[in-house]
Amino acid sequence: MKIRRKSRVAAEVSTSSLNDIMFFLMLFFLIVSTVVNPSVIKVMLPKSSASQSLSKKTISLTVTADKKYFLNNTETSSASLESDLIKAIANIPDPTIVLRADNTLTIQDLVDIMQLGVKLKVRMVLSTNSSGK
């Protein structure tokens, strides 16, 4: 007496939810990639072969090609730059300002900004791109 089933059980992998999972992963990575660095200011830095890193807290001063000033990613005018720098360095002992200036600016523009640092007795460091040697 043979007892057999009339229908065979077939192993099946359901992929209907895979589309939803892939959509949510793609959406997650798109959102995260925009949140990671939301206020990036595009500046073409000058090139340098030597580099130095700073370990203490610094203040970032960015100057774009059209002479817009950004102090810690907040736009400021050239007229109020000195007072904004004074406010930014008020609570920091031995402050250091990292100057990120576009490579198309003139030397006089850089000297004017560096004179502010001398006047405020603040250490200023010029940020550059490494030449990739």
Number of domains in the chain: 1
The domain that holds 61 is classified in CATH as 3.30.420.270
Find the domain containing 80 and state its range.
47-130
The residue with greater pLDDT, 38 or 63, is: 63
pLDDT value for 8 = 73
Whole-model pTM?
A: 0.59
Written as one string, the DSSP assignment of 8-43 is --------TTHHHHHHHHHHHHHHHHHHHS------
Assigned domain for 78 exists: yes
> pLDDT grade, residue 31 (50/70/90)?
confident
Residues 63, 102: contact at Cβ < 8 Å?
yes
- How confident is the model over 69-80, as pLDDT tens digits? 998 888 888 888
Averaged confidence pLDDT in the chain:
81
